[in-house]
Structure formats: C-alpha cells, structure tokens
C-alpha cells in the first residue's frame, strides 16, 4: 500500500520524475493547502522505494501488503 | 505537530513538531535527509552518538530538524566549531552539514585546514551553485555562464570543484554525487562515517527557486534532468579535454586513502610526553576542570 501524507507534501512532483513505472499523476482537485497532490496507481507499483528516497518532504510510505 | 498513522520510514529521526520543514517545494536539501538517514541505517554508527554541526545557509537548517545533538553556528565556521566538538570528546561521531558558500567562500580556510589536519569529521557539502537563502547571489561554485542576482549577464569565473579542493588539501575520503543518485550518495556518506579521518561528500542539489528560476530550469524536474544530462563519471572524464569538461559534473570517489588522524596523532604525543590519558581530557572538557 502507498500512503501519502497530504500535510507534508508540497507538490514538487519529484516522485513523478523518478518513478520508473509512472505510478504517480497530479490529482484533478486542489487540496486544503492549494496543492494538486500526486495520486497513485497501485497496480503499476513494484515497491522499488525510489520515491520514498527522493521525496524531499518525507511524505510517502510504501508498505508490503503481506 | 503532524499526526500520521503511516509515517515515512525516516520520520523517526526528525523533530516532528517542526515539520513540514521550511525548504521550498522540490528542494534538494530534503533528499539529503533521506540519504543521510539511509547511510546511518546502513552503517554501524549509533544514532545516539551523533552530533551535527552547521553554519548558515539553507542546507545548514538540516541539523535543526534532526533528533540528535546539534549545533547551529556562525557563517562559515561550522568546521571550526566541529573541530572543537570533536577534540573535546573524540568518541562522538561529528557530522557537518554545510553549503557551498558556507564551506568554500566564507569558511574556505577552515575547510582546507580541517582537510590538511585530517581530523575525523564527516562533512556533507550541499552544493546548489548559488546563495539560495540570501536571494540568489553568485557563489564560488556557480558554473561559468550561469545567471544570478549579482551576475545578470552570466558568471565569467571558473567555478570551484569542491571535491578537487578537498582532495588537494589532504582529505582522506572525498566523493561527489548529485541528488539524482540517492543510492550512491547514501553509500558515500556510509563510507565517510566509517572512515577515520576527514571525509567530504559533495552533493550537488537543486535550487529551483533561485538557481532554476534564473537559469531557465524552473521546476525541480527540469533541474534533475539537467543533472542527469551533465553527470559523467571520473573514468569518463579521464579522456576528455578541459573544453569538453566545462559545465560537466564529474561524479565518483575522488580519493579513499586513509592516513594518520589528527586526534590519534595528538594522543600519541601526549602519551609520550605526559601522564594525562585521553579519558582524562574528555572528563576535563565536560567537568570544566
């Protein structure tokens, strides 16, 4: 499962840039801070953890389902 | 304080009451946190035993967010303060987080002399090619032709290669990578923590707010792409001429050659000439005797 903390995300979209599987896309709606936070497609994710290492705001957690 | 049931794996090392941190969206300093904590987890260094020292600048705000002993000092003097801290108690692991302006222009002499003495510090130099905190002035590492508030027609100076400077000054471990290579940066910091001597890890980080805005690289993505296009390894650089190397980021381990460490050399001298043991010195430093 991917957990994205909307309170910490600043909308820099580095996760979209580094993800080799294009899991993230900007959401259609603004959140309470006025940011289009990334939305994710769990089907595509292979849990390489590159986005958690590259997220400058420590907003992403990826957990193994089992 | 931000409550969250599913925190990032490195949030436990951060002072959560201060989050979100003050860095601009997409700032490279945020990635330095991840690589630093990743390196600490990979190495056998105890997090409780770490002290962090920083000077002035955007990157120097990093120790303020880390849940360890930290010291925020005057501009350019981070390595000087860290030298004192390490000499008072040589058992602690001292990490210095410093920026390009802090380390090479205002504190340039402290950097080269700490490297010359080979004192056991791990210096992470976050190089964003510009003075980000004060409004985007040109820094000693700004590439030739780059624009800044103080260089509206482009910089004409040859930039510093901080890794080469530290290597020439006598550091025993020097590595240089960009934030687009987080695994390599983590490994370099791990090696630097394990190395007994002066270790400098130069990390090229993006500053989309000032460097990017002045140089037509407005988004963090554009800056990361720019790093990826211009990064070459030390081995590739061997066969290239100076003209071809201009504007390139030469990454890799510049030197990994351990030699006599400063405090060990001092302890050896004091053992020869006096009865005071290193433990006595540590006690004196704390007790004020």
B63-101 confidence digits (pLDDT tens):
999 999 999 999 999 999 999 999 988 899 999 999 999
What is the pLDDT averaged over residues A35-49?
91
Contacts for B112-116: CB closer than 8 Å, 24+ residues apart: B112/B165, B112/B166, B112/B169, B113/B169, B114/B79, B114/B82, B114/B83, B114/B198, B115/B166, B115/B169, B115/B170, B115/B171, B115/B198, B115/B200, B116/B169, B116/B170
Average pLDDT over all residues of chain B: 92
Cβ of B6 and A11 within 8 Å? Answer: no
Q: Is the pLDDT of residue B215 over 90?
A: yes
Cβ of B9 and A61 within 8 Å? Answer: yes
Cβ of B6 and A7 within 8 Å? Answer: no
Alpha carbon separation from B124 to A60, B16, B41, B221 (Å, rounded): 24, 23, 17, 23
Cβ of A5 and B26 within 8 Å? Answer: no
What is the pLDDT averaged over residues B110-127?
95
What is the pLDDT averaged over residues A17-36?
91
B141-197 confidence digits (pLDDT tens):
999 999 999 999 999 999 989 999 999 999 999 999 999 999 999 999 999 999 999
Cβ of B182 and A54 within 8 Å? Answer: yes
pLDDT given at position B7: 86
- Determine which helix (DSSP H) or strand (DSSP E) holds B138, and give its type and residue range: strand B137-138
pLDDT given at position B286: 80
Cβ of B28 and A56 within 8 Å? Answer: yes
Q: Domain A2-62, CATH 1.10.760.10 — does that match?
A: no
Tell me the β-bridge partners of B53: B71, B96
Does the structure's ipTM exceed the value 0.90? yes
Interface of B with A (CB under 8 A): 2, 4, 6-11, 14, 19-21, 23-31, 33-35, 38, 179, 182-183, 186, 208, 219-221, 224-225
Mapped to the 3 state alphabet, what secondary structure does B145-188 carry?
CCCECCECCCCCCCCCCHHHHHHHHCCCEEEEEECCCHHHHHHH
Q: Among partner residues B19, B34, B219, which is closest to A8 by beta-carbon distance?
A: B19
Tally of CB atoms within 10 A around B229: 9
Average pLDDT over all residues of chain A: 90
**CA B52 from centre of chain:** 11
DSSP state of B24: P
pLDDT given at position B252: 95
What is the pLDDT averaged over residues B237-263?
92
The pTM of the full predicted model, rounded to 2 decimals, is 0.93
pLDDT given at position B116: 94
Alpha-carbon distance B167 to B210, whole Å? 29
pLDDT band at residue B289 using 50, 70 and 90 as cut-offs: low
Cβ of A61 and B14 within 8 Å? Answer: no
Cβ of A5 and B21 within 8 Å? Answer: no
Q: Is the pLDDT of residue B200 over 80?
A: yes
Q: Among partner residues B7, B20, B31, which is closest to A54 by beta-carbon distance?
A: B31
Among B3, B6, B59, B225, the residue to mutate for chain A (most A Cβ within 10 A): B6
Cβ of A8 and B6 within 8 Å? Answer: no
pLDDT band at residue A66 using 50, 70 and 90 as cut-offs: low
Cβ of A13 and B14 within 8 Å? Answer: no
Q: Among partner residues B4, B221, B225, which is closest to A13 by beta-carbon distance?
A: B221
pLDDT band at residue A1 using 50, 70 and 90 as cut-offs: confident
For residue B15, give how far its alpha carbon lies from the nearest alpha carbon of chain A (Å). 12
For residue A62, give how far its alpha carbon lies from the nearest alpha carbon of chain B (Å). 8
In percent, how much of chain B has pLDDT > 70? 98
For residue A36, give how far its alpha carbon lies from the nearest alpha carbon of chain B (Å). 13
pLDDT band at residue A25 using 50, 70 and 90 as cut-offs: very high
CATH superfamily to which B18-261 belongs: Thiamin diphosphate (ThDP)-binding fold, Pyr/PP domains (3.40.50.970)
Among B1, B9, B29, B186, the residue to mutate for chain A (most A Cβ within 10 A): B9
């Amino acid at each position: 499962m991917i957990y994205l903390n909307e309170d910490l995300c600043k909308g820099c979209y580095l996760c979209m840039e580094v993800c080799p599987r294009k899991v993230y896309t900007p959401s259609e709606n603004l959140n309470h801070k006025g940011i289009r936070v990334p939305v994710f497609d769990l089907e595509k994710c292979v849990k390489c953890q590159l986005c958690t290492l590259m997220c400058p705001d420590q907003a992403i957690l990826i957990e193994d389902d089992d | 304080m931000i409550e969250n049931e599913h925190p990032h794996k490195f949030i436990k090392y951060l002072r959560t009451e201060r989050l979100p941190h003050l860095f601009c969206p997409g700032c490279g300093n945020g990635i330095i946190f991840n690589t630093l904590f990743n390196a600490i987890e990979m190495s056998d260094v105890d997090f409780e035993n770490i002290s962090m020292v920083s000077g002035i600048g955007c990157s120097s705000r990093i120790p303020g967010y880390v849940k360890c002993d930290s010291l925020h000092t005057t501009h350019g003097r981070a390595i000087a303060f860290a030298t004192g801290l390490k000499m008072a108690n040589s058992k602690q692991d001292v990490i210095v987080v410093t920026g390009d302006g802090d380390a090479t222009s205002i504190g340039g002499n402290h950097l080269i002399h700490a490297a010359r003495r080979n004192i056991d510090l791990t210096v992470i130099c976050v190089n964003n090619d510009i003075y980000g905190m004060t409004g985007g002035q040109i820094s000693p590492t700004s590439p030739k032709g780059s624009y800044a508030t103080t260089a509206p027609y482009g910089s004409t100076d040859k930039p510093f290669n901080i890794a080469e400077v530290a290597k020439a000054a006598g550091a025993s471990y020097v590595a240089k990578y960009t934030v687009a290579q987080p695994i390599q940066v983590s490994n370099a910091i791990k090696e630097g923590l394990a190395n007994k001597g002066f270790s400098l890890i130069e990390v090229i980080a993006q500053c989309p707010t000032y460097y990017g805005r002045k140089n037509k690289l407005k988004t963090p993505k554009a800056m990361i792409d720019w790093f990826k296009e211009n990064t070459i390894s030390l081995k590739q650089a061997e066969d290239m001429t100076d003209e071809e190397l201009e504007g390139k980021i030469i990454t890799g381990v510049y030197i990994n050659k351990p030699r006599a460490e400063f405090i060990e050399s001092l302890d050896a001298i004091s053992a020869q000439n006096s009865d005071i043991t290193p433990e006595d010195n540590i006690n004196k430093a704390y007790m004020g005797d």
